[in-house]
Amino acid sequence: MQGDLMEPLESRAAGHDSAMCAMAMALAAVSMGYAIDLNDGLYSRQAILFLSISLAFCAAAIVIPPVRSSERLAPRRLPFVLGAGIAVQTVLLVERFGFKPLAIAGFGMISLLGLLQASDLRWLRIPALTIMVAAFVFEGGRVISKSPHIDVYTFDQKASAALLHGSNPYEVRIPNIYSDLEWYGPRLVDQRGYLTFGFPYPPMSLLMMLPGFLLGGDVRYAQLVAIVASALLMGCAQPGRARRIGALAGILFLTTPCVFFVLGSAWTEPLLILNFSLLMLCACRWRKGLPWALGLFLSTKQYSVLALPLLPLLVRGPGWWKELRGVVIKAGIVVAMVNLPFLLWNVREFTKGVVLLQFLLPFRKDALSYLVSIYSGSGANPPLWIFLPVLIASIVLALWRGTRSPAGFAAAVTLVSAFFFAFNKSAFCNYYYFAIATACWSIAAAKLPEGPGPGSFAPSAHDYSARTTSSSPSK
């Protein structure tokens, strides 16, 4: 097809990443980060507004077809958009947590160096990386020194201790640390005030937390390492000059305003994000490791299954179905190896904690969800089933208009998970933090046109115009 508007189905199906999609995902990550920063990921009208803006950017990244003129300009503008996002998030981060002067100086340098990277100053990459990691680890250690009043932290610590002593973590019982039953409901709290279920996550997350608990006495050390490692892997997603975009995406992820709130609360999302990062790195640079990384990812948290119907975006070519089947089978072997020992240890308790609990938890009136907006406006309980048609629609849209590439897969996961959370009965800071990470990965993994120098545009293997003129005319 000739002309300014490029055929969306032809270019996206062929695996051509769009710079405009990467830019939309960057704006989605920043606006979603601000939405969950406003009220610690809890419901508020302003938070819903910025969440809606973020969802609009997610949808635009998938739906809007690439336009040649925009694709020529976007690769030059993307580093500046990422740098500006890093600067804004750094200000919010420092304002939120009241860092000490040393940490403020460190994060200030991160912001400055992030902006300078927009000019592709390669000699600053090692100093930027060193300062970024040092400042983050320093402040992360200070956050870990404080014990949070949250059930997740108690679950993580108790389950880790139980497993190290040879006990079943899914049989552990902890007291309800909250003053009422609103968060659990009467079916999940017994007469003594103890919860009726054990560790509520798949075993992979527990196994990943064990080193932090064993070496430092706190599972959050493992989560701190997971956050930093995920950012570093984003910087390694692409070779050569494209690594600059990955580094900026990693810093954007690392400066998410609520990052230390997620770390301090001991949520398991950093571990899920690390396994997603391994999956993406394999998709970009080591395809043979893709099935095994996928298996680890699917074994970490329940909602990771949302990525399963999107797997066709990771394979392409005439034998894509055969490749997809092989990936799924090998990933299934990993899932079975991780989960079966714990399942057979106590089928009833494992099933209750990992599967049934998701259906027994009540509707949360403080969740950052459109269901809460419905409840606030009408006073009546919203239709909890509404997430299902939204989920199906987002999956169909992602498969129909998504790009067959690692970046396209990450963008599709962002779209599907964000809409799933936004229409769910329970959606909080940690869930959207995962969607922010996948949005950053869609940027880091994108193969965009790169000219011989900063700010230039030259035809390459990923230049749509070069592709379309050499191919047969579209019908």
CA torsion sign for 95, 209, 233, 139 is positive
Which DSSP symbol is given to 355?
I
The total domain count for the chain is: 1
Instruction: Write out the residue range of the structural domain in which residue 357 sits.
Output: 8-470
The token pair at 19 is 């710079």
Does the residue 1 lie in any domain? no
- Give residues with Cβ within 8 angstroms of 134, minimum separation 6: 106
pLDDT digits 0-9 by tens, 181-195: 677 877 888 888 889
Does the residue 461 lie in any domain? yes
pLDDT digits 0-9 by tens, 373-422: 998 877 778 888 899 999 999 999 999 998 889 999 999 999 999 999 99
Nearest to 156 by CA among 108, 200, 99, 96: 200
Local confidence band at 16 (pLDDT 50, 70, 90 cut-offs): confident
Q: Could you tell me which residues are beta bridge partners of residue 115?
A: none
Crossing angle between the packed helical segments 19-38 and 68-97, to the nearest 10 degrees:
20
Does the residue 2 lie in any domain? no
**pTM, rounded to two decimals:** 0.87
pLDDT digits 0-9 by tens, 276-287: 999 999 999 898
Does the residue 3 lie in any domain? no
Does the residue 33 lie in any domain? yes
Counting residues of the chain whose pLDDT is more than 70, the rounded percentage is: 81
Does the residue 52 lie in any domain? yes
Q: Compute the CA torsion angle 84, 85, 88, 93 (nearest 10 deg).
A: -140
Between the alpha carbon of residue 210 and those of residues 229, 276, 318, the distances in Å are 17, 19, 43
Does the residue 449 lie in any domain? yes
